[in-house]
Each structure stands twice: as C-alpha cells, then as structure tokens.
Amino acid sequence: MKSILLIGAGFTTLTLRDASSFQSLDAVSPRRCCQASSSLSVATQQQFSSGTINVAEDAQRDLDWLEEWATNCGVQKSEAFEIRQVLGDNYWDDDARIITNQDLPTDSPILFVPEGVILTGQKAKQELGRDASEAERMLEAFYGPDEISKFYLFLKLMAEHEAGESSPYFAYLNSLPRFFSNGASMTDFCYGCLPPFAAGVALAERTKKDRYLQALEKVTLGFFLSNESVANDDLAKWAFAVVNTRCTQLPNGDFGIVPLADYFNHGNDGGSLDNEAVANCYISFDEEGNSYAYSSQNVPAGSPLLISYGDSTNPSKLLAKYGFLDETSPVTFCKYIIGEESIGEEIKAMGYPNRMLFSTEGEISPEVWDVVLYDQLARAGSSQQQQQELYQAVMSGDEATKQRLHQDYFTLTLKALQDHVNFLVNELDELEIGMETQLSSGVNAYKHPRLPLLRRHNTYVKTIFDRVQENLNNMSSQ
C-alpha cells in the first residue's frame, strides 16, 4: 500500500491499491523507447516517414500507434481502457476520447503512467540547461512563478517538434490535436462574437500567448531552437495550446503533461451520478511521481471516462482556456464585473466572483445580492457606514441586519442587477444577428470554423439570462 496524492482543490493523502493494482514494471524512458524502434511493428515504423509533425490547423492527428508507443514506454492500461477517435464532417470537429468497454466498479484501476514518461517543467529546464532568467522574470512579473514551469514545457515541445522523427515523443506529439478553439487560438472575429466577459477572458489567453512569444525571443539567440522554429507562428500557437490545455499541476508544485492521461475529457464535478457528463474518474500521483487513474464511481460499459478540469460554474472561462462549452452545470457565473481598483479582500470574502451564480432556472444566489449591494453602496460614497454594516452582517451570519439592509436598498440593488442583465441580453441579441448573417452567407465554415461553438456559448448564456431577466422583472412589478 502506498500513499497517493489526489489532484483536486487541495492535495489529500489517500491510501489506495495503487501499484498492487498494476503489474510491477520498471519505467522505460521515452528516449529508450524511441531508440529501441526495432521493437515497434513495421507498420508503426513506416509512420516515421513524414519526418516532422505538421502543426497546421487542418492537419490530421495520427493516433494509429500512440498506444503501442505508450506500452513500449511502460504505460499500463486496464483492459477496459479504450481511446476512441471521433471524426467529424470537418477537421475542426474531430475528437478523441477515452471510454470504458466494460463495466467498471468504483476505484477500478484504469491507467498507470511512469514518472519517466511524464513531461514536466522542472525536467525541461534541467534538460535545456541554458539561462532563461530574463524570460522567467518577465513571465513571473505578469503571471507569478507557476508560469515559468509552463513556459519550459512550451520550450520543450518546440524543441521536440524540431527534432522531428528522432524525438522520443514523436508518436505522442503526432497524436495530439492541431485545431484548438481556446481563447489563444481565436481570431479577432471570434472575440467580436462574444459578450464582454467571455471576450475578456478569451483575449487574456491570447495576451498570455503573445507574452510567451516575447519571452521566447529572449532565450533563443544561440540557444537550442533554429530561427525557422522561432519564426513559425503555427508552431508557437500549437505548443502554447498543448501546454495550456493538457498540463496539470503536480503534487510538488511543478506542472506536467501526462501522456494518455491527458486524453481524459472534462466532466462536471457536480450534479447527479447518473448524468453522463459528470466526472467519473480521478488522477493521482505517488511519492515517486508515477501517475494513476481510477474510477470514482461505478461506470457502465460504453461510457466516456471523464475527469474535472476545474470550476464548472464558469463555462466562459472553460471555453477561453480549453476551447469547449460545458452546458451541464446547474449554475453559472452571473458575469457581474467589478473594476480591479474596487476588488478588495472584503468583497472577495463575500463571494466575489466564485459564488455569484445564476441557476439555469433563473434563480439568483444570495451572494449576488450581497455583493451587488456592497458595490452599489461603495459607489454611493456617503453610504460607507451601511457598507461596513452589510459586510459585518454577512461575515457574522447576522441575517436580520442583512435583510434589513437589503430591504432598505432593494430598489438600488434591483436596478443595478436589471441594468446588468438587460445590457447583456441586448448584447447577445445583437451578436446573434451578426452570427446569423455569417451563417446565412454559407462561407462561415471555412472562414470562421469556431463560429458554431461561439454561437452555442452565447445561446447557453442568453437562455439563463432571459430567465433571470424575467424573474427580476417580476420582482420590479410587485
């Protein structure tokens, strides 16, 4: 029995049937796997003929020999584990997902990935072995120390791409998607199709990608990448997208990409267990850094195996970071934005922004009312005493005082919420007109392949806000 660190909101030490659930096998490094290519089938070796990985958005990913590569590297899979490639009508509709081909009881072992196969920022930094302190300082100033590890993963992917077929990760990298719909991969047209909050978080992802490129310029002179690679925008965009959609934080604080484990799609971490979209697996690590995947509930044969990528109450953030829309959450962020200069510890303690939620039925969480009133009292200027009274009431659980303040200022809070919701509903209506024009033109598929996804996002948000708007109007008429 070993102690395993479970990935989640915090690291929890669990005792599970980890190594005993899998065969005892020494880790085989990817480089040894690549060098021992004679162990691969003839058909597999022929796949090396292309020499390099085409990272253009319309290039097809190649999963044909991913699992053979993984097996040669010491990765172990349950018999129930199956990667299923789903080909759409267009290249941007292609997908790959993990399913179980047999019933899985709770805590069934699914996947084992040895530490030597896992790509990490720390290992990449040691391997590249050059001074990138100027780039590190720049990224840390904008995003904090975590971004440095991700940046070295980004450099590692670019270096492995340049190595082509001689890269020990060639098979794995060639299996990854080329087309992404996350914020960093969107076009200016895409940002114009999104409402303000979603457009803002999507643009923030592109800004981060641009800063990676600026940091890249600071480390490549006489470093390890050719001028051709440095100037390849498609390569940089692809490497950035892979890191930011597939890496995970490790128990030691580093960031890593775990081959095959990164094929688990997202599942909601809330809702009923009979919901097909709920997360039904989890990933953990032992003290040596080996990775394990287990089922977290009984999973019927044919079901997708899913892990949680993060907060499901903010689909706009998941869209911006990962490029998909999660429509399964019963609640979503209300998108009420407070200026950075006004965000203090008090307002965050009251629930801004994570607990400011609208339900899919149009219900408004108490934290929305509390934070909006607090914000409006701050704007009133002369109401600082009432603002502090509200804060103390919320923090101490003094419902009587809180309700009295809400009654005294109900008209103020209601109008602020109505203005916010009415603006967003109107904005979404206008955006829909523009997207409908593109759809009716018949050329949107190739000009704007992300348009159907963006439209679904806006429809999802508008449906919720329409219901909230109706509830607010009913309150106003009473």
Whether the per-residue pLDDT at 476 is higher than 80: the answer is yes
The CA-CA-CA angle for residues 245, 235, 51, to 5°, reads: 110
The 10s digit of each residue's pLDDT in 74-117 is: 999 999 999 998 887 777 888 899 999 999 999 999 999 999 99
Q: What is the mean pLDDT of residues 392-416?
A: 95
- What is the SS3 assignment for the chain? CEEEEECCCCCEEEEECCHHHCCCCCCCCHHHHHHCHHHCCHHHHHHHHHCCCCCCCCCCCCCCCHHHHHHHCCCEECCCEEEEEECCCCHHHCEEEEEECCCECCCCEEEEECHHHCEEHHHHHHHHCCCCHHHHHHHHHHHCCHHHHHHHHHHHHHHHHHHHHHCCCHHHHHCCCCCCCCHHHCCHHHHHCCCHHHHHHHHHHHHHHHHHHHHHHHHCCCCCCCHHHHCCHHHHHHHHHHHHHHCEECCCCCEEECCCHHHCEECECCCCCCCCCECCEEEEECCCCCEEEEECCCECCCCECEECCCCCCCHHHHHHHHCCCCCCCCEEECCCCCCHHHCCHHHHHCCCCCCCEEECCCCECHHHHHHHHHHHHHHHCCCHHHHHHHHHHHHHCCHHHHHHHHHHCHHHHHHHHHHHHHHHHHHHHHHHHHHHHHHHHCCHHHHCCCHHHHHHHHHHHHHHHHHHHHHHHHHHHC
CATH 3.30.1330.80 fits 2-307, yes or no: no
Give the number of other CB atoms < 10 A from CB of residue 414.
16
What does the pLDDT look like over 187-209, one tens digit per residue? 999 999 999 999 999 999 999 99
Average pLDDT over residues 282-300: 95
**pLDDT tens, residue by residue, 43-69:** 344 444 457 899 999 998 999 989 999
CA dist., res. 459 & res. 325, Å (int): 11
Instruction: Report pLDDT for 49.
Output: 44
pLDDT for 276 equals 65
* Residue 58: both structure tokens together: 């319309």
User: Which tens digit of pLDDT belongs to each residue from 422-443?
Assistant: 999 999 999 998 888 777 766 5
The whole-number pLDDT of residue 229 equals 86
Averaged pLDDT score across all residues of the chain: 85
How many residues does this entry show for the chain? 478
For residue 13, is pLDDT > 90?
no
The residue among 423, 366, 374, 377 whose CA lies nearest residue 399 is 366
pLDDT for 467 beyond 50: yes
pLDDT of residue 41: 40
Structure tokens at 241: 């997208």
CA angle 210, 207, 222 (to 5 degrees): 20
pLDDT at 248 over 80: yes
Strands 255-257 and 119-120: antiparallel
Beta-bridged to residue 332, according to DSSP, are: 358
Q: Is the pLDDT of residue 381 over 70?
A: no
Instruction: Specify the pLDDT at position 421.
Output: 97
Q: What is the pLDDT of residue 14?
A: 31
> Greatest CA separation found in the chain?
79
Q: What is the mean pLDDT of residues 449-466?
A: 94
Listed in order, the ranges of the chain carrying CATH 3.90.1410.10 are 2-307
Mean pLDDT of 318-322: 94
The b/e string for 446-466 (b: 16+ C-beta within 10 A; e otherwise) is eebbbbbbbbebbebbbebbe
Pair of tokens at residue 402: 């809180």
**Hey, what's the torsion of the CAs at 263, 326, 157, 70, to 10 degrees?**
0
Q: Is the pLDDT of residue 38 over 50?
A: no
pLDDT digits (tens, 9 = 90+) for 328-371: 888 899 999 998 888 899 999 999 999 999 999 999 999 999 99
